[in-house]
A and B are shown apart, each in its own frame.
Chain A
Amino acid sequence: MNLSESKDFIVNSGSLKDVRLFSRDVFEKLNLDKNLKEELVLAIAEAAQNIVKHAYKGIEDTDDKMQIKISLNDNKLEIGFFDKGKPVVEENIQHRQLDDIKPGGLGTFFINQIMDDVVFKKDQKKWVNHLVLTKNLSNN
């Protein structure tokens, strides 16, 4: 089954619930295993949270939207995140070491655990940041 769905969300923490609802709805159509579905929802929600937390750091009220696009082609799942926040500096992104027990820094670690690939692309004129998460569902 091939599919492509996208939705825009206002960039704020209150939208994260809607991001999860959208993701669950899409994955429902794909008839994915429940565990895998919840892992993917977590990865998407963490990436969306990173946009709110980091790309829009210090910006409390904004009408800006982020777009999330979920596509499945030949069992390859691709999830795109588009935003107009501060440009991401990839060198600054690092998850904390797991033996360094402190609050924060886990979101990126979860994304990397769940997905096969995490890539920032510089291919969008309309947007500032374009993150692409991919996972080959044939392996699951």
Chain B
Amino acid sequence: MAYNVKEDGNIATVYLDGEIDMDVTDKAKELIMPLIEAKKEVHLNLKDVQYMDSSGISVLIESHQKAMELGTKVILKEISKSVLKVIMMAKLEQILNLE
């Protein structure tokens, strides 16, 4: 998994690239959680994520819940077809913020 972060005011956009599985979830959390804890609105751009498994979905849920707890939000942007399919399989399309 590769990534790139761009910050503009209170919005941090995280561009994730590659496959997100159990092997990289710690890395993903270490990247996303501090931004949420800094109360940034986090935009996760998932257009270049070709694969995500249940571990990756757990990171999305955890990030979403942490953001809600701290009064900010995580928005999933440009979700790739394969990731959207997994989100829908988990019936999370109404729970997570999808754009």
Which size class do A's interface residues fall under? 20 to 34
Asked if residues A13 and B58 are in contact (CB atoms below 8 Å), the reply is no
Asked if residues B21 and A45 are in contact (CB atoms below 8 Å), the reply is yes
CA distance in complex: A20, B50 (Å): 12
With A102-B61, A110-B89 as given contacts, are A49 and B19 in contact (CB-CB < 8 Å)? no
Q: Provide 5 A-B residue pairs closer than 8 Å at the C-beta atoms, listed in order of the A residue.
A: A20-B51, A53-B22, A101-B95, A105-B54, A106-B90
CB neighbours (8 Å) of A58 from chain B are: none
CB neighbours (8 Å) of A13 from chain B are: 21-23
How many pairs of residues, A versus B, come closer than 8 Å at their CB atoms? Answer: 65
The A38-71 residues at the B interface (CB cut-off 8 A) are: 38, 41-42, 45-46, 49, 52-53
CA distance in complex: A72, B54 (Å): 26
Binding site for B on A (CB under 8 A): 13-14, 16-17, 20, 35, 38, 41-42, 45-46, 49, 52-53, 98, 101-107, 109-110, 113
Measured CB to CB, the closest approach of chain B to A18, in angstroms, equals: 11
CA distance in complex: A38, B80 (Å): 13
Asked if residues A98 and B55 are in contact (CB atoms below 8 Å), the reply is no
**Chain B minimum-CB-distance residue to A14:** B23
Asked if residues B54 and A110 are in contact (CB atoms below 8 Å), the reply is yes
B28 at the interface (CB under 8 A from A): no
